[in-house]
Amino acid sequence: MTRRKILKGMAATSALLAAAPALVLSPAARAEAGALYDDDRILGEADAKVTIIEYASLTCPHCATFHRDTLPQVKQDWIAEGKARLVYRHYPLDGLALRAAALSNCFEGKSHFTFLDAMFASQRKWAGSEDPLGELAQLAKLAGMDQARFDACIADENEMNGILERMKEATDDYDVQSTPTVIVNGKKITGSMAYEEFRKLLEEAAAQS
């Protein structure tokens, strides 16, 4: 994909977002309830005391830093131990991130999170490439996806519209304006954060739950 096509994709993203339908619940009601969606991608136990909702863009360098430097320890110390669960939600900041998000949603269960980790780990390679979709196709192939499936996933307009609807709701519910934004038991945190600092927030949330 050329830079010009990516810019066109960004314009399309804005147009689709503006056309997203209204919420069924009011923003205040959704945020207060901490409502989850039936198709949310969740890693961890349902009865965990701490719920971490992450809004991220797959082309965001700060999101990649969070996934590379902070989240592995969170998974080990909190999610694997049943103390927290992670709800990942896309907040694509450009057209390429939107297509990458649609691609990642073709992977289910733990495979979804494994593929997210791979995308963030290799973000500089594919997002900065002259042919980012070609690089993503290679990454998907390594994850077991054939070319026909890749082509269908990367161009799924219904999936992309759904992602943009959720993006609008994130802005309305939690005033999400940038990535990464993390909601820990209803408390909003913006920007990447080192594990030790993030751990203190998780401990505070666990103590209050």
- pLDDT per 10-residue tile (average), the chain, 209 residues: 46 43 41 73 95 98 97 97 97 98 96 97 97 98 98 98 96 96 95 96 95
Residue 14 lies in a domain: no
Residue 177 lies in a domain: yes
Give the domain range for residue 180: 3-9+39-208
Spell out the residues 6+ positions from residue 95 whose beta carbon is closer than 8 angstroms to its own. 5, 6, 7, 8, 9, 10, 11, 12, 13
Summary mean pLDDT of the chain? 88
CATH number, domain containing residue 105: 3.40.30.10
Distances (CA, A) of 29 to 32, 72, 113, 170: 5, 32, 29, 13
**DSSP3 helix / strand / coil % (the chain, rounded to 5):** 55, 10, 30
Residue 87 lies in a domain: yes
Residue 34 lies in a domain: no
Output the pTM of the full model: 0.84
Residue 31 lies in a domain: no
| Tally of domains within the chain | 1
Residue 28 lies in a domain: no
Burial of 57 (0-12, 13-18, 19+ CB in 10 A): buried
pLDDT in tens, 159-177: 999 999 999 999 999 999 9
Residue 26 lies in a domain: no
